[in-house]
Chains A and B, each alone.
Chain A
């Protein structure tokens, strides 16, 4: 990547081993992380993000813009923060690398969307998911912000991503929030893929339905905390089957990718 290129990166924070909190990272020309965009459970009374949403009456889904770069923070009139969810070994995809104008034009549209999206004051589902209706949670915020930026909304392999198929608002409203100077990039366009060593490659085929169902059932039946439900899912036959299936599909995807790209095939062979 040329030195003057900015980029937008999709990242996956593992939660309790099997679930994913998806979020966006802005990187500057030197590859340094400048900011993050998240959808998080937020206390309606204190207006602070909280670790876990536990009460829909008290907790709302809000967009949070954590700016690490001091100059960029000053441009946005916010206090810089070290708050970060970037960790080594996370799955991540660079969905766009380009000029400062292009990348920041899209990123700033997402930042501007924060206010109207937060004004919706959507309930944050207890422990992050709903049992009897569509889940709109942090992963729905990730999708919404990705669509506002007009970048491919990537999902991640080998993890459950409840809420990823949903949005915080309608596609028509999202279109209004976009910066029309920059076209919507198709998810089929080639993007840099950077599965880190020891991590599963991207796979789209592993349906989370079985695993999510087990997770939801665990939470519903026992009123268990998210972590407990996740651990129970991991230990269950259903959860292990889901993980094995996801891994097999990730490997199949890697082989398929290798078949399409000679260089990648050599790299895959070298890794195995």
Chain B
């Protein structure tokens, strides 16, 4: 759900993946999905700005910064719990929500399919 209390519109979700899924695979699927989305939609064209395999964190578009437009992803993988926590920020001018709820679902669809593949 998007959180209107934030100045930056944000949606979050947690996906369950098989325990001990390698983090590099999770990251590869995230990168693949981001590339697909970025090809067709300018809102998604932020680059990966942080990839920390040790801590299971991948981010795009300087995620912690507030004053940036477009869809920006924070992904946190916990291999022991088999959980991938996703946060999507999506501000436009004047912090208008550019559809973070729909954007997160759009990301999840291709990302989950990639993770399910051998």
What number of residue pairs across chains A and B have CB atoms under 8 A from each other?
58
Stretch from A27-35, A44-52, A94-102, A106-114 that touches the partner: A44-52
Of the listed stretches A76-84, A156-164, A249-257, chain B binds A76-84
Question: What residues of chain A lie closer than 8 Å to B5, measured between beta carbons?
Answer: none
User: Number of residues in A with C-beta < 8 Å to the partner?
Assistant: 22
Write the residues of chain A forming the contact surface with B, with a CB cutoff of 8 angstroms. 13, 15, 21, 38, 40-41, 48-52, 54, 79-85, 87, 138, 227
Q: Does B93 contact A (CB under 8 A)?
A: yes
23 contacts between A and B (CB under 8 A): A41-B93, A48-B69, A48-B70, A50-B69, A50-B93, A51-B8, A51-B93, A51-B94, A51-B95, A52-B94, A52-B95, A79-B42, A80-B40, A80-B41, A80-B42, A81-B43, A82-B43, A82-B99, A83-B43, A83-B98, A84-B92, A85-B92, A138-B93
| Additional pairs, 7, CB under 8 Å, beyond known A79-B42, A81-B42 | A21-B94, A41-B93, A79-B45, A82-B41, A84-B98, A85-B92, A85-B96
- A40: chain B residues at CB < 8 Å are 93
Interface residues in B, total, Cβ within 8 A: 20
Contact between A50 and B94, CB atoms less than 8 A apart: no
Q: Which residues of A contact B69 (CB under 8 A)?
A: 48-51
Tell me if A13 and B94 are in contact (CB < 8 A). yes
